[in-house]
Structure 1
Amino acid sequence: MGRRKWVGAGLGAGLVAAVGVGLVVAPAGAAAAPVLPPISPEDLVSSVMTAQRGPLAGEVEVDNALGLPAVPGAPQLANGTSTIRVWSGGEGRGRVAIPSPDGERTLVSDGTTRWAYDSQDRTATRSPAGDHQGPPEGAPGQDQDPTTAATQAIATLRQTSTVAVDGTAEVAGRAAYQLVLTPQPTERTLLREVRVAVDAETRLPLQLTVLAQGSAEPALQVGFSEITYGPQDPSLFTFTPPPGTTVRDGQDGGRPDGQQGRPEGERRTVGDGWDTVIVGRAPAREGGEQQQRPEGAPDLSALGTPVSGPWGSGRAITTAVATVIVTDDGRIAAGAVPQQVLTEALAQ
């Protein structure tokens, strides 16, 4: 994966730092708020963190107003509304179908092996299911469903937040509590609050809404528009590459020639809670060669504005909920924070 593609990955990392993931969805509609028994914020958070996730299937709507251009391999990062399908079979088994303008990207895990298949260029990347060095190539983020994304957000933000229950809502036909996390005054963040709709029966998050400072409208939202709990067809969680597919192994960096690229290097986290910054390095091939930009894809390395400081120089890319700095020497810093917080992290 070359520098330009890693700028796109850096944008995704900024969203991950913002809420524990990279995507968002549309409001639940105008249904009357259901009447539910009162519950304290502490009890609701505790029940979410201990909820047992069973098999499920659903349709997830993604709607965002980040102001990003279309990113190759991640159309859901661009402004607008899109839909993905998710299936979970438990025990690490899952499937995600991500439509794109020219085909579909499919992510499949049987609990042992993880596949990322692109129907447009007929390539499939195979990696161990437990390999979390980064999202599979072609995936806009590591987790594509609101249940996982919202649970991660709560786990990341709960200790540095004021937590409240703000009424109820109906999401995907399910009665839900509205959990609200607001950053404490000491947190340096671009975010005003994160709202999580929690299924009143299963205590699984159904919808995640992210609001930026100075705006009453969601910058990001991800949520189920349909959801069904129960056993899923086991065949959904197996993958056989179609004839003519080029298969790459994740361990070799996805290079068709099978030669080993220079490793990515460890990512590190600076800060915690709302002002968490992720700092990493874009991988390069042996000898410093960068992967060529796909024909027709935008030059992501030209996004943003030039910045410099004691940490070096590069470009800063700012959205409503995240900031990313890509340095000229290949480092990436991302978070739901002002630019100054990123430069401080790069200087450490």
Structure 2
Amino acid sequence: MKRRSVVLTATAGTAAGVLGLTVLALPAGAGAAPELPPVAAEQLVESVMRADPPALTGTVSVDNALGLPALPGGEASQLLADGTNRFQVWADGQGRHRVSVPSHGGELTMVDDGTTAWKWDSGEQTATRTQHPERAGHGAPADPAAAARGIIGELRKTSEVSVDGTASVAGRDAYELVLTPKPTERTLLRQVRVAVDAEKRVPLELSVLTNGSADPALKIGFTSLDMTAPDPGLFRFEPPAGAKVEDGSRHAPEPGDHAVPEHQVVGEGWDSTLVTKVPESPELRQVAERTGKPVSGPWGNGWILGTAAGNALLTSDGRVAVGAVPEQVLVAALGEVR
């Protein structure tokens, strides 16, 4: 996972919703704690980073207690809405994936066959096709195991790492890996807990806890999991008869086009801040004006949208700074990016 993607996942705050991204975080599941051989924290981390992605079929639960305002957007904003949502995932362990997300109008299905990624909206009867390698940002919810591994890889450098017992998650034995920010880190988060499969060494659940609360702010993880290879036919997609087919691939801008600047990351680890530009959205502007706190500075005017887990600063000209950090860190980051 690229570093900027890790930042998007790790922030687990309002800004992630503003950007329409899926954010992962979750506590270990219920069940008696299994007896497992002791393992050193760094040894567990190294085994997670080396583990091969498994074939799997699973149900993922997203439990959001952030208190976000209603956000415009597709499947990502739906998963970030307060309450519990679920979606289905399939993977063959060789880079092919399928995700199915219930939506208000029907179902959203994302299928990646390793060459082409499809997003099928049954409510709109629209299929969007994106060719590799230009499918970044296609909008499919991330694989919880891959996303959690990316978070571990990024945060381990600025964390105190420990193992805090064991857990049973989706019927599988797991170690509880805990990452706690070092005292020098400027973050709203207290710790990240990852339930790591004892056999496969892949993350099964991940939880983000904030300062001042014993309950997770946002959670996602497997509630059922089968690590046998799914039917290969699940990773093939043909648009149904009568469907509208759109091309979702990104193209290089033509001369005279307004190019959108690359994402920029300021800082590292827990106090990383992503600064980028969002597509023009009157609905998003209305949400910011209605629920955000007005702010201004040398960079212009904007609004702060915040929760216990993170903040987003949306400017009037469409820039956004995102992080699991205090407001002043966002303002400073925005001032550093030109």
TM-score class, shorter: 0.7 to 0.9
Aligned pair 1:273/2:269, yes or no? yes
Give 2:297's aligned residue: 309
What amino acid does structure 1 have at the position aligned with 2:314? Answer: V
1:141-169 residue CA offsets vs partner (Å, 9 max, x unmatched)? 4x1x3211210110110000000000000
Residue pair 2:27, 2:194 contacting (<8 A) in 1 also: no
Residue pair 2:192, 2:206 contacting (<8 A) in 1 also: yes
Residue pair 1:32, 1:170 contacting (<8 A) in 2 also: yes
Q: 2-side partners of 1:318 and 1:14: how far apart?
A: 17
What amino acid does structure 1 have at the position aligned with 2:292? Answer: G
Q: 1-side partners of 2:276 and 2:135: how far apart?
A: 14
What amino acid does structure 1 have at the position aligned with 2:265? Answer: T
Residue pair 1:279, 1:346 contacting (<8 A) in 2 also: yes
Per-residue deviation, 1:57: 0.8
Give 2:42's aligned residue: 42
Give 1:7's aligned residue: none
What is the identity percentage for the equivalent residue pairs of Structure 1 and Structure 2?
A: 50
The 5-angstrom pairing of residues 94-173 of structure 1 reads: 94-131=97-134, 133-136=136-139, 139=140, 141=141, 143=142, 145-173=143-171
Q: 2-side partners of 1:252 and 1:189: how far apart?
A: 34
Per-residue deviation, 1:305: 1.5
Aligned pair 1:192/2:190, yes or no? yes
Q: 2-side partners of 1:34 and 1:192: how far apart?
A: 26
Give 2:247's aligned residue: 249
Change (3 A) 1:292 1:312: closer
Per-residue deviation, 1:132: 5.2
Residue pair 1:97, 1:106 contacting (<8 A) in 2 also: yes
Give 2:19's aligned residue: none
What number of residue pairs does the alignment pair up?
316
2:205 is paired with a residue whose SS is strand
Per-residue deviation, 1:234: 1.1
Aligned pair 1:18/2:11, yes or no? yes
What amino acid does structure 2 have at the position aligned with 1:45? Answer: V
Per-residue deviation, 1:280: 0.8
1:248-289 residue CA offsets vs partner (Å, 9 max, x unmatched)? 212368xxxxxx974432111111000111111124xxxxxx
Change (3 A) 1:251 1:163: same
Change (3 A) 1:240 1:291: farther
Per-residue deviation, 1:13: 9.2
Q: 1-side partners of 2:311 and 2:282: how far apart?
A: 25
Aligned pair 1:212/2:210, yes or no? yes
Q: 1:318 aligns with which of 306, 319, 322?
A: 306
1:34 is paired with a residue whose SS is coil
1:36-60 residue CA offsets vs partner (Å, 9 max, x unmatched)? 0000001000000001112111011
What amino acid does structure 1 have at the position aligned with 2:97? Answer: G
Which is worse superposed, 91-100 or 262-271? Answer: 262-271
Structure 2 residue runs without a partner (length 5+): 17-21
Structure 1 residue runs without a partner (length 5+): 1-11, 254-259, 284-289
Q: 2-side partners of 1:113 and 1:344: how far apart?
A: 40
What amino acid does structure 1 have at the position aligned with 2:88? Answer: R
Per-residue deviation, 1:133: 4.1
Change (3 A) 1:132 1:186: farther
1:347 is paired with a residue whose SS is helix
What amino acid does structure 2 have at the position aligned with 1:300? Answer: V
What amino acid does structure 2 have at the position aligned with 1:199? Answer: D
Q: 2-side partners of 1:313 and 1:54: how far apart?
A: 47
Give 1:66's aligned residue: 66
TM-score, with length taken from structure 1: 0.85
Q: 1-side partners of 2:312 and 2:79: how far apart?
A: 18
Give 1:28's aligned residue: 29
TM-score, with length taken from structure 2: 0.87
Q: 2-side partners of 1:270 and 1:121: how far apart?
A: 38
Residue pair 1:108, 1:237 contacting (<8 A) in 2 also: yes
1:116 is paired with a residue whose SS is strand
Change (3 A) 1:25 1:105: farther
Residue pair 1:56, 1:89 contacting (<8 A) in 2 also: yes
